[in-house]
Structure 1
Amino acid sequence: MLYVYRFRLYPKEGQIEFLNRQIGHCRFVYNKLLEIAKKDYEVEGKKWNYYEYKKLLPKLKEEFSFLKEANSQSLQEAVRWLDRAFKNFFKGLAKFPKFKSKKRTNSISIPQHFRIEGNKVKIPKLKKPIRFIKHREIKGKIKSITITKTPTGKFYLNILVDREIEPLPKENKIVAIDVGLTHFCTISNGEKIEKPKHLIESEKRLKKLQRHLSRKEVGSKRFLRLKKRIAKLHEKIKNQRDDFLHKLSRKIIGDNQAVIVEDLNIKGMIKNSRLAKHIADASWRRFIQYLEYKAKLYGRELIKVDTFFPSSKLCSKCGYKNDGLKLSDREWTCPLCKTKHDRDINAALNLLKEGLTRLKRVVGVDRPELMPVEGAMAPCEAGSPSL
């Protein structure tokens, strides 16, 4: 499978200037071709075609001589990025491509003619190699590298490799996970994972810095210093969130042979203005992505249950559907079997049942080697368990 290693780069002063120019050239090509493509469509109705616009690169180099300093393959990759953006737009997966801003995260892709020796990377048109912190060994065949610059001015080396799957020792356990807002997620064995609230906890400090920024003159030294402090705070929140998601997803995948999750429509859910901030802070989509690639890497199974499956409304004991259940109802009692349910645990149990059913359908056997975690199928007759 394809896998990306990420390392912190430490370029020297001259190397920083070189990387900034290279990233700027790729950003310029991306924006220029997007501008041309928009004009062509508005005037002639001409649609995007990757091969036609790629042929414009030599003309751009003649018109803008500074582009000759750039690695030609990196410029071609910039056109490929724009092609991917247009394809995602045509498929309905993203909005119309936007112009790249110098203020945001920017990258340069180098598909060939690079060399990694120990903790240094040699790239085209730069005499001396750049040092990076190699905190783990690189496994697999290296395909390409990408150098990324964050708004805080840090550089990262991303190494794409073709890596062999490394199956973990087999487990006979299977769990279902229901994500939520009161807790980050509830596991079908009754365990509830608390929500870390990284953004909420830093929000007061973030608002204070943004108020100070609004009073400064745009472009002044104080303005730029404050802007960098805000970017660092955003980066810290992101790193804290990623660290939590990586550790949790690795533990769940390591402890269970199969994991069942709900295929949520995050894009639709985030339209709710009251919950959007909390949903974005929880990063459910990223959590499921981490579970997905870790399951593939370590030889586990991830089963996705349909978005419209009423996991919260069904009684996990008798199957009664409570159509009148509201989002504010955290506990409810089934009118048929009189079982008292904790909303989140009940949803996780229903996901577990549905996931097991789908697993049997796909494989065609009862899968005796996969068993729900002990006690997971017991109804919450006494309300919420003490955790």
Structure 2
Amino acid sequence: MFVYEFKCLGTTRQYQAVDEAIRTSQFIRNKCLRYWMDNRMVNGYDLNKYTARLAKEFPFADQLNSTARQASAERCWSGITRFFENCKNKIAGKKGFPRFKKHQRSVEYNKSGWSLSEDKKFITFTDKNKIGKLKFVGTRDLHFYQKTEIQRVRLIKRADGYYCQFVISSNLATEEDQPTGKCIGIDMGLAHFYTDSNGEKAENPRHLRKSEKRLKYLQCRVYKKVKGSKNKKKAINQLGRKHLKVSRQRKDFAVKLARCVMKSNDFVAYEDLKIKNMVKNHSLAKSISDVSWGIFKEWLQYYALKFGKVVVAVSPHYTSQECSNCGAIVKKTLSVRTHICKCGCILDRDENAAINILMKALKLMGYITNTVGHTEINAWGEKTLYLDLETVLKQGRSMNQESHRL
């Protein structure tokens, strides 16, 4: 499944109707959560039936389409099941007990309650909320997909307007891409966004740091305005728009960089960082959140499927401490940026880690095995090469290939 998103244009009355639909969806979700907390042995099917009772009890809930009410119940049940899974798997720390929503920003419809125009540039919502007909703004084209392939439709409120998302169930269209015969390992960092096993570095854009002065100014304006006034709402909206711009800058950078990496290489290895645990370091939490590693990893996996490439996540343990030349452990603190080993290997700390990440991934996938005196590489098909590890690395990890796919 993948998502297409369009900005929606409508009247002030229509926007108010969308806001009312979102509030109703939030109300139903919270009611379902309370029903689950007050009654034992309640499952997802019981919550779906409970939404029909809510529609009879509250007239404003009946104005929302029945599938939208059920989608709110499903959203509540997904949070409950995630909580039980975390308890079952004994996840460290908080298990994510579901909470009541205070500021929900979206409403979701399933198969009914909406219809597309023939040119698929307008969408009409047909429930009693009277949202009516909204116009799409965007370059995406829905003509390639049938209505049966659209599983869900979401209306989302953001600081700069209202958006409509289409969740489409369809096979991802792959692009034919010429093989490059290259493989790299990626070490992610804060000084640079990443360093690869060839020594190339991608600069960290630091979008939040660059916008911090403006954000502080806008935050001060919010504090100075009178609570409940129109100027207060305007100041909040301006602050929200600025945060939205920063988040879009992060995503745009990560998406373009991930595409470039996957187009340039046939095999990419990266370290599987536990970002949730890393942000517990309060000295580095802001910088870690700003660098957007998680978005980058998601789009690496997406483009690997799209281009028919291979991407592998490996454990980051000891990749910075281990020597990529001889395998010895050279302990170093975060302030030490150069790897110096007794074997004579002197490398940038991050480049050394990137090489270790690549070698770990090749071993994990079975493309490389260590034997006495040499390294056996099976990465490119049936032909087996016997090369010294140092020779392989100096050649830029470009190995002879008999097959152009991994």
Q: Is the TM-score greater than 0.5? A: yes
1:60 and 1:54, CA in 2 relative to 1: closer, same or farther beyond 3 A? same
- Return the offset for 1:360: 2.0
- Return the offset for 1:227: 0.6
Matched letter for residue 366 of structure 2 = K
2:349 matched residue in structure 1: 343
Bigger mean CA offset, 245-254 vs 132-141:
132-141
Does the residue aligned with 1:268 lie in a helix, a strand or coil? helix
Deviations 1:115-159 (A, max 9, x none): 333311233325853111230334455322333333415111111
Of 154, 164, 188 in structure 2, the residue corresponding to residue 157 of structure 1 is 164
1:224 matched residue in structure 2: 233
Of 104, 129, 135 in structure 1, the residue corresponding to residue 133 of structure 2 is 129
1:86 matched residue in structure 2: 80
Kindly indicate whether the alpha-carbon contact (under 8 Å) linking 1:188 and 1:376 is maintained by their aligned counterparts in 2: no
Does the residue aligned with 2:217 lie in a helix, a strand or coil? helix
2:66 matched residue in structure 1: 72
2:283 matched residue in structure 1: 274
Bigger mean CA offset, 360-369 vs 212-221:
360-369
1:170 and 1:375, CA in 2 relative to 1: closer, same or farther beyond 3 A? farther
Does the residue aligned with 1:184 lie in a helix, a strand or coil? strand
Bigger mean CA offset, 261-270 vs 109-118:
109-118
- Return the offset for 1:362: 10
Deviations 1:292-320 (A, max 9, x none): 12212222211111243x11111111111
TM-score of the pair, normalised by structure 1: 0.87
Kindly indicate whether the alpha-carbon contact (under 8 Å) linking 2:186 and 2:354 is maintained by their aligned counterparts in 1: yes
- Return the offset for 1:17: 2.4
Distance 1:153 1:133 in 2: 13
Bigger mean CA offset, 191-200 vs 352-361:
352-361
2:51 matched residue in structure 1: 57
TM-score of the pair, normalised by structure 2: 0.83
RMSD (CA atoms): 2.7
Kindly indicate whether the alpha-carbon contact (under 8 Å) linking 2:22 and 2:105 is maintained by their aligned counterparts in 1: no
Does the residue aligned with 1:360 lie in a helix, a strand or coil? coil
Distance 2:391 2:228 in 1: 61
2:360 matched residue in structure 1: 354
1:175 and 1:111, CA in 2 relative to 1: closer, same or farther beyond 3 A? farther
Kindly indicate whether the alpha-carbon contact (under 8 Å) linking 2:362 and 2:379 is maintained by their aligned counterparts in 1: no
Does the residue aligned with 1:158 lie in a helix, a strand or coil? strand
Matched, 1:291 2:300: yes
1:120 matched residue in structure 2: 122
2:339 matched residue in structure 1: 332
Distance 2:321 2:273 in 1: 16
Matched-pair identity in %: 30
1:48 and 1:292, CA in 2 relative to 1: closer, same or farther beyond 3 A? farther
Of 316, 319, 335 in structure 2, the residue corresponding to residue 311 of structure 1 is 319
1:174 and 1:112, CA in 2 relative to 1: closer, same or farther beyond 3 A? farther
Kindly indicate whether the alpha-carbon contact (under 8 Å) linking 1:176 and 1:349 is maintained by their aligned counterparts in 2: yes
Matched, 1:9 2:35: no
2:373 matched residue in structure 1: none
Distance 1:316 1:243 in 2: 33
- Return the offset for 1:190: 1.4
Q: Please list every run of 5 or more consecutive structure 1 residues that lacks an aligned counterpart in the other structure.
A: 41-45, 380-387
- Return the offset for 1:266: 0.9
Matched letter for residue 140 of structure 2 = R
Distance 2:18 2:131 in 1: 13
Q: Please list every run of 5 or more consecutive structure 2 residues that lacks an aligned counterpart in the other structure.
A: 370-375, 396-406
1:367 and 1:112, CA in 2 relative to 1: closer, same or farther beyond 3 A? farther
Does the residue aligned with 1:56 lie in a helix, a strand or coil? helix
Kindly indicate whether the alpha-carbon contact (under 8 Å) linking 1:22 and 1:108 is maintained by their aligned counterparts in 2: no
Distance 1:105 1:252 in 2: 34
Kindly indicate whether the alpha-carbon contact (under 8 Å) linking 1:165 and 1:298 is maintained by their aligned counterparts in 2: no
2:105 matched residue in structure 1: 105
Distance 2:250 2:189 in 1: 16
Matched letter for residue 150 of structure 2 = K
Kindly indicate whether the alpha-carbon contact (under 8 Å) linking 1:260 and 1:352 is maintained by their aligned counterparts in 2: yes
Does the residue aligned with 1:91 lie in a helix, a strand or coil? helix
Kindly indicate whether the alpha-carbon contact (under 8 Å) linking 2:339 and 2:352 is maintained by their aligned counterparts in 1: no
Distance 1:325 1:98 in 2: 43
Kindly indicate whether the alpha-carbon contact (under 8 Å) linking 1:145 and 1:157 is maintained by their aligned counterparts in 2: no
Kindly indicate whether the alpha-carbon contact (under 8 Å) linking 1:189 and 1:376 is maintained by their aligned counterparts in 2: no
- Return the offset for 1:376: 8.1
Does the residue aligned with 1:259 lie in a helix, a strand or coil? strand
